[in-house]
Structure 1
């Protein structure tokens, strides 16, 4: 059982003894709010699943989720009065912990499109095409339980980059060839960088480029954002010939998150929000290159 300071607790429960509590959450959310037919909401998998239940301090059920034998997370639901209070985050973490206890390498889920950002913040990345389920548009997502998740599309790259940015504590390191069109100009990534840069504590967003001219010629929106939030952003361009030959690109933060691309002109790579050793390795490789790189002072005066 996980006890939290927010007035609720989360625990794995037996389906047969907790079915009424599960029903007290899932039916108001799915059947009443979202108009999912009751016969679709309850299925033959339910007795075979691992279920987690959130209860308030009075013992009343307020949220639930399940983990199927097919290694899929589903039926994530939180009662309306408890939304925005961390219940969904706690449920998802509990389900991932249950998967780890069973030594499952990967978990998947079908996210309602409106919830993609929520799952991305927990390291899930989209894959495949969107589809309709019970009349609601969904997106398949996946996450490695231990280790790095494969990234093989722009959509996945954008989702995981935004998640790594938002998980940053104080320092974010970006090593990019030329601000990667399609990634660092994506609205989700720009919004995440804006959110990070406007936090009250000091934030260092360091962007190391191999070609500083190309983003300037293309009027990359990240340059404009950095001008408005200049205290958080710093840009440098590699100058050492050995550094210019580096073919890869990455994003890494000081909270164990990293996204590494062997070829910096492609989105294909691997990522995780909690791969502490790999993220530290990327940050440690970044710093010496940063120290010998040229400050890109022309970005600060662009458009002045």
Structure 2
């Protein structure tokens, strides 16, 4: 089996703009002599972006999808070409377009890249034209509609479970394992430094492994406030995350406000949560099903996640 030595993920422009610009500047501005004022435009903020990274988290390729279905700024650094990076980026953009309900996508393709687009069933449309001093052709692809599964019968929501207090590491460990085991497709962890006495325990690591094996298409999202404390130290959860790199997404905050957040928590997609007031202690409260508290913590997690950077320190083997 040929295992790729890169991965592709959605990019959040306010957070990832420097890395997107790094690749596009290298390919379009420096290599192809396209003026920066043409390459970087206001449309960037309105587009959906994807970013390819090597296993150390460094950017190696980009692409974007505009609101009207135009694919553009598809670029791969020279040392990574002919290794499937461009195809992976294009597939990710097409999948995004289908998920948005678009029926077609199109691209102004450089004539030297026509074979690449035709490999993905794009068809030529119209005559050749010049854009940024380079010959182009419009290529268009009709999208197959997303297959909608039969709508399941409405299930009654399970009754809420009042929060219970946690007063020991043993109780916190047991509750964390239960939250992981009851997750369906997504789990979020907010932690100071992946506290070894909790996340390094075999029960938690095994529960996460089993979750990864049974889950389809989603992920464990982890925010680590202080990854420097983990550098050079062995950690079973990070070992698992490296083996299942596409399943574990790890970020670290950039904003001082987020870095100083004192608490830690875990939430799943079954309305369960576990909250610790101080990230270096294990007293707190939890419930396997308390929607209001779960929603509050999910909003907090999403707010920090969107303005955090990928934690590339843990992508390279042998970190």
* Counterpart Cα distance in 1 of 2:183 and 2:231: 26
The TM-score with structure 2 as length reference comes to 0.49
Partner of 2:310: 295
Partner of 1:237: 252
Check whether the contact 2:179–2:268 (CA below 8 A) recurs between aligned residues: yes
Deviation at 1:146, TM superposition (A): 3.7
* Counterpart Cα distance in 1 of 2:288 and 2:161: 10
Question: CA offsets, 1:22-56, max 9 Å, x none?
Answer: xxxxxxxxxxxxxxxxxxxxxxxxxxxxxxxxxxx
Deviation at 1:250, TM superposition (A): 0.1
Deviation at 1:200, TM superposition (A): 4.6
Partner of 1:121: none
* Counterpart Cα distance in 1 of 2:279 and 2:204: 17
Name which of structure 1's ranges 294-303 and 150-159 shifts more when overlaid on structure 2. Answer: 294-303
SS at match of 1:301: coil
Question: CA offsets, 1:203-225, max 9 Å, x none?
Answer: 31001011112123321111110
> Quick one: which of 177, 180, 188 aligns to 2:192?
177
SS at match of 2:196: coil
SS at match of 1:270: strand
SS at match of 2:210: helix
Question: CA offsets, 1:242-265, max 9 Å, x none?
Answer: 111100000001111100001111
- Is 1:262 matched up with 2:277? yes
Question: CA offsets, 1:231-279, max 9 Å, x none?
Answer: 2101111110111110000000111110000111100000110111111
Check whether the contact 1:216–1:223 (CA below 8 A) recurs between aligned residues: no
Check whether the contact 1:205–1:233 (CA below 8 A) recurs between aligned residues: yes
Check whether the contact 1:207–1:234 (CA below 8 A) recurs between aligned residues: yes
Query: How many residue pairs were aligned?
Result: 162
* Counterpart Cα distance in 1 of 2:317 and 2:298: 28
| Structure-2 change in CA distance of 1:298 and 1:170 (3 Å) | same
Partner of 1:153: 168
- Is 1:284 matched up with 2:296? no
Deviation at 1:302, TM superposition (A): 3.1
Check whether the contact 1:254–1:280 (CA below 8 A) recurs between aligned residues: no
- Is 1:194 matched up with 2:184? no
Partner of 1:274: 289
Q: Please, which runs of 5 or more residues in structure 2 have no aligned partner?
A: 1-157
* Counterpart Cα distance in 1 of 2:179 and 2:208: 10
Deviation at 1:280, TM superposition (A): 1.5
* Counterpart Cα distance in 2 of 1:161 and 1:266: 14
> Quick one: which of 251, 254, 265 aligns to 1:250?
265
Deviation at 1:198, TM superposition (A): 1.3
* Counterpart Cα distance in 1 of 2:257 and 2:249: 22
Deviation at 1:303, TM superposition (A): 1.3
Q: Please, which runs of 5 or more residues in structure 1 have no aligned partner?
A: 1-96, 101-144
- Is 1:214 matched up with 2:217? no
